[in-house]
Amino acid sequence: MLRGYVMKDKKTVLLGITGGIAAYKMADVASALVKSGCNVRVIMTENATKFISPMVFETLTSSKCLVDTFDRDFEFDVKHISLAKEADVVLIAPATANVIGKMANGIADDMLTTTVLACKCTKIVAPAMNTNMYENPVVRDNIAKLMMYGFEIIPAASGHLACGDSGKGKLPDKNTLIEYILRALNGKKDLIGKRILITAGPTREALDPVRYITNHSSGKMGYALARAAAFRGADVTLISGPVSLPKPLFTKVIDVISAEDMFNAVKDNYENQNIIIKAAAVADYTPVSVADNKIKKSDSDMSIPLKRTTDILKFLGENKKPGQFICGFSMETENMLDNSRKKLEKKNADMIVANSLVTGGAGFGTDTNIVTLITKDNIKEYDIMSKEKVADTILDAIINGF
């Protein structure tokens, strides 16, 4: 999940690790954050050191792991205050019921709780404990208190717990924890209050119960757009065709299969959107009829009658709401600029993102793209970029122009 994320300025992440069995999982989190360019500092409770050694985190972060508030083995400063000032984001994970209760009620009796109480940055808490503890009304009330005080809570995952029980209470996976941190560190919050609808991936047009017509779209560009928009504060709805990508956090995902499914989902959700980005590769044609049973092979050639699917971008252009911004994509193999300009005008779009399938580094399935942004008055070509960078570039152009 760190792929494509470039830390523009070195940020300080403070990890608070408490005494749960999942404490050992935080070594991977610390390592990944360091590799992404973060300055990582770690505070452990005394109980946490029973599950994993502080030396592990000191080796991974090249910084002293703090445990004892009264430790004298460091340069003179009030450490819990200096760390609180230095931190750009704090993640407490795993967060035990004990530490959650302390933080919710202002108790500061160790290095971790004292530092958190002094922090003014974003504070994220990932509860992890036995299911019965997690569902205890006292714990639920303390979690609600933290939310009221501005803490962000990562919901516990469900599954088999270390105690042998099954249920809710697991520490979420590494990628989830890191996504919450990266969203907090993202400096651009220029889409707060905006609703964005994004389509992504291919569609599948069934021939029979076994076969379908589709294309090579991986969905990577649309998913990168959804992630970037959510990081910048937008309320994101992602309408996705069948892809093998994990669902992006912080978005409402609507799964669809066919072009008709995608059209219906767009039609049901487009009216109250501020920005609509059509990044999906929607089939232009679909079989006239779908066989109820598998079509058997014969000695003669087969012909499949096709009919046009509904043009979603055209529908959006014809039904554009006041103030709505509509961005389409144009994948071409020849005459890219001319075809894309015609598409912009014909579909009544505000912007077209054009790229060429025959250009190396662009097109389906890659982690990079080479795009040209086209509006009524401007055309700007960009060099090869990661799809995450392309996503931010597209959003910048929509918000600020280019």
Residue 3 lies in a domain: no
Question: What does the pLDDT read at residue 164?
Answer: 80
pTM above 0.85, yes or no: yes
Query: Are 176 and 207 in a shared domain?
Result: no
pLDDT band at 112 (very low <50, low <70, confident <90, very high): very high
Tokens for 211?
A: 């076969």
58-71 tens-digit pLDDT: 999 999 999 986 66
User: Percent of the chain scored above 90 by pLDDT?
Assistant: 83
Q: In what order do the strands lie in the sheet with 251-255?
A: 251-255, 235-240, 195-200, 275-278, 325-332, 351-356, 372-374, 379-381
Q: What is the mean pLDDT of residues 197-217?
A: 96
Question: What does the pLDDT read at residue 1?
Answer: 41
| Cβ proximity of 65 and 54 under 8 Å | yes
Q: What is the mean pLDDT of residues 102-117?
A: 95
Cα separation, 266 vs 280, in Å, equals: 11
Question: What does the pLDDT read at residue 244?
Answer: 96
Query: Are 358 and 282 in a shared domain?
Result: yes
pLDDT at 22 over 80: yes
Query: Are 181 and 281 in a shared domain?
Result: no
Question: What does the pLDDT read at residue 76?
Answer: 45
Q: What is the mean pLDDT of residues 187-214?
A: 95
Sequence-separated (6 or more) residues with CB below 8 Å from residue 69: 79, 80, 110, 111, 114
Residue 155 lies in a domain: yes
326-374 tens-digit pLDDT: 999 998 888 999 999 999 999 999 999 999 887 887 778 789 999 999 9
pLDDT at 309 over 70: yes
Residues forming a β-bridge with 187: none
Q: Is 294 annotated as a binding residue?
A: yes
Q: How far is CA 389 from CA 58, 221, 279, 394, in A?
A: 32, 10, 15, 9
Known catalytic residue: 119?
A: no
Query: Are 152 and 202 in a shared domain?
Result: no
Q: Is 343 annotated as a binding residue?
A: yes
Single-letter amino acid, residue 37 = G
Residue 5 lies in a domain: no
262-281 tens-digit pLDDT: 999 999 999 999 999 999 99
Beta strands in 260-348 (DSSP E): 275-278, 285-287, 306-308, 325-332
Q: How far is CA 112 from CA 42, 88, 181, 184, in A?
A: 9, 16, 18, 20
Residue 7 lies in a domain: no
The parent domain of residue 32 ranges over: 12-185
Residue 154 lies in a domain: yes
Residue 6 lies in a domain: no
Cα separation, 108 vs 323, in Å, equals: 50
Q: What is the mean pLDDT of residues 220-224?
A: 97
Query: Are 383 and 315 in a shared domain?
Result: yes
Cα separation, 384 vs 398, in Å, equals: 20
Query: Are 181 and 204 in a shared domain?
Result: no
373-398 tens-digit pLDDT: 999 999 999 999 999 999 999 999 99
pLDDT at 80 over 80: no
Query: Are 282 and 360 in a shared domain?
Result: yes
pLDDT at 125 over 60: yes
Number of domains the chain is built from: 2
Query: Are 361 and 248 in a shared domain?
Result: yes
Residue 267 lies in a domain: yes
Q: Is 329 annotated as a binding residue?
A: yes
Residue 250 lies in a domain: yes
Question: What does the pLDDT read at residue 363?
Answer: 73
Q: Find the CATH number of the domain harbouring 85.
A: 3.40.50.1950
Query: Are 213 and 177 in a shared domain?
Result: no
Mean pLDDT of all residues belonging to the chain = 92
Query: Are 174 and 211 in a shared domain?
Result: no
pLDDT band at 167 (very low <50, low <70, confident <90, very high): confident
Cα separation, 86 vs 119, in Å, equals: 9
Nearest to 229 by CA among 255, 199, 192: 192
Q: Find the CATH number of the domain harbouring 280.
A: 3.40.50.10300
Query: Are 145 and 250 in a shared domain?
Result: no
Q: Is 247 annotated as a binding residue?
A: no
Of 122, 157, 185, which residue constitutes the final position of a domain? 185
Query: Are 23 and 136 in a shared domain?
Result: yes
Catalytic residue among 38, 119, 121, 163, which?
A: 163
Q: Is 109 annotated as a binding residue?
A: no
Question: What does the pLDDT read at residue 243?
Answer: 97
pLDDT at 315 over 80: yes
